[in-house]
Amino acid sequence: MPGPLDAGGSLFELLSAWIGVTSDQTEESFVEFPWRAGMARAPSAFLAVFVLTAAVAAVDGFGSGSLQRRFALLGIAVFNAHNVPATAGAVPQVLTPIAEPIAGIPGIGRLLRGLFTVGTGHAAPFSHVGGIASGQTAEIGHLDLISRQGETTVPTVVYYLLAPVALVGAGYEFADSRWAETTTESFADVARFGLAIAAGYLVVLLVGSVLFTAALVGGGTVLADRYLLVVYGFAYPTVFATLGAWVVYRDRT
Q: What would the pLDDT profile of 170-191 be if each residue is shown by its tens digit? A: 999 999 998 888 877 888 889 9
Q: What is the pLDDT of residue 62?
A: 64
Lowest mean pLDDT among 5-14, 66-75, 97-106, 114-123: 5-14
Higher-pLDDT residue of 231, 140:
231
Per the prediction, the chain carries an average pLDDT of 79
For residue 48, pLDDT beyond 50: yes
Closest CA to 209 of 190, 195, 193, 230: 230
- Give the phi and the psi of residue 224 in degrees, each rounded to 5: -70, 145
What are the C-alpha distances in Å from 108 to residues 79, 111, 222? 21, 5, 18
SS3 category, 223: strand
The predicted model scores a pTM of 0.79
pLDDT tens, position by position, 105-116: 776 666 677 777
Compute the average pLDDT of residues 242-253: 91
Burial of residue 2 (CB within 10 Å: 0-12, 13-18, 19+) is exposed
Of all helices (H) and strands (E), which one includes residue 227?
helix 226-252
Question: Quick check: 120 and 143 in contact, CB under 8 A?
Answer: no
Question: Contact 193/94 with Cβ under 8 angstroms?
Answer: no
* Cα gap 201→72, rounded to integer Å: 19
> For residue 165, how many other CB atoms are within 10 A of its CB?
14
pLDDT of residue 27: 57
pLDDT value at 151 more than 80: no
Instruction: Determine the number of helices (DSSP H) and then strands (DSSP E) in the chain.
Output: 12, 4
Which of 73-82, 116-125, 222-231 bottoms out in mean pLDDT, i.e. has the lowest?
116-125
> pLDDT, tens digit, for every residue of 10-38?
544 543 443 344 445 555 666 678 899 99
Cα(111)–Cα(47) distance, rounded to whole angstroms? 18
pLDDT value of position 5: 45
